[in-house]
Amino acid sequence: MGDWTGVLHLNAEDRKGKTVAKNVFFQGAFKVMRPIYHDNSGRACYYLLNPGGGYLDGDRYQMKISLAENAKLTLTTQGATKVYKTPKQFAYQESEIILQAGSYLEYFPDPLIAYQNAHFKQKNVIRMDPSASLLYSEIITPGWSPEGERFSYKTVQLQNEIYMDEELVAYDHLKLIPSTQKIGGLGFMEGFTHLGSMIIVDQQVSSSFLDHLYSKLDRETSDYKVGLSMLPVPGFTVRVFANSTQVIEQIFSEIHRSICHEWFQTKPYSLRKY
């Protein structure tokens, strides 16, 4: 395993309309539950586990997910990603995701909670066929400290790279450093405490579909701010500012519900554990 705290490799393939694991390997403080099939679509759902309960000083995690042609997978976590104080070395997680032709991946982890003096870096690299589909979301909370102070972590850095045919088609890099940035001000959190990001890549994305989503979201409310942007390839990104995880999850659920209904004529199932 080298110097990795936890390693997870999962290769899935389609077998007569049902997605099954071809190879599963995990070691150290990273595990995955047996797959769950919520409906008769054949899509498998895996829950990621961290037996240690959170990320500690110097922890390093590696995840590799590969979907063969027409495989369909939902990936989520058992609970929030908790990063405890890292006085010496930052905690790090990297993921490499390969999506072959016609494959479909939903990756919806629970929120990130960075504790006081935590330093966390994450990098996701997705290599996908143009006919594959990707739905990914992440939520950053204001963290936790004994005094109840918000944004008391050192650094939260999240990086996403999406490639098609070995060409970089989308790059998203978020770096929050509360000690040097006015996190609550303009250009950052805009007075809100929680930040949600969502990336959708699918051949069915169109400007008319984004207009449809805008019509479903209340943009006049003071409870949140939301923005949608088209990608250079068929796809779009979503940014949400809010003051609670639940508000962001409700918006993401509405978008997810519309995608399932409009594109696949299916109903989404709930992944949350509460």
Structural domain contains residue 211 = no
**pLDDT in the model for residue 1:** 46
- Residue whose pair of structure tokens reads 């984004």 in the numeric block: 210
What pLDDT score does 188 carry?
85
In the chain, count of helices (H) and strands (E)? 2, 17
Could you tell me if residue 37 is inside a domain?
yes
Phi-psi region of 19 (alpha: psi -120 to 50; beta: other; left: phi over 0): beta
- Asked whether residue 97 is assigned to any structural domain, the reply reads yes
- CA quadruple 249, 259, 214, 182: dihedral sign: positive
- Domain-embedded: residue 227: no
87/161 Cα distance (integer angstroms): 28
Residue 183 is which amino acid? Answer: I
Assigned domain for 203 exists: no
Q: Which residues of 62-100 are buried (b: 16+ CB within 10 A; e: fewer)?
A: bbbbbbbebbbbbbbbebebbbbbbeeebbbbbbebbbb
pLDDT at 247: 96
What is the distance, to the nearest Å, from the Cα of residue 74 to the centroid of all Cα atoms in its chain? 11
Sign of CA dihedral 139, 140, 142, 146: positive
Residue 268 counted as domain residue: no
Host domain of residue 43: 6-189
Q: Rounded to an integer, what distance in angstroms lies between the CA atom of residue 246 and that of residue 214?
A: 19
- In this predicted model, what pLDDT tens digit does every residue of 19-34 receive, in sequence order? 999 999 999 999 999 9
Q: Convert the pLDDT of each residue in 108-154 to its tens digit.
A: 999 999 999 999 999 999 999 999 999 999 999 999 999 999 999 99
Predicted local confidence at residue 15, as pLDDT: 97
Segments of the chain scoring below 70 in pLDDT: 1-2, 272-274
How many distinct structural domains can be found in the chain? Answer: 1
Q: Work out the end-to-end distance of the chain between its first and last CA atoms, rounded to an integer number of angstroms.
A: 34
Q: Judge whether 240 lies within some domain.
A: no
pTM of the model: 0.95
Looking at every residue in the chain, the average pLDDT score rounds to 94
Amino acid at 71: A
How far is it, in rounded angstroms, from Cα 175 to Cα 187? 12
In a domain, 226, yes or no: no
Burial class (CB in 10 A: 0-12, 13-18, 19+), 5: buried
Cβ-proximal residues to 194 (8 Å cutoff; 6+ apart), any chain: 111, 139, 140, 141, 142, 241, 242, 243, 244, 245, 247, 248
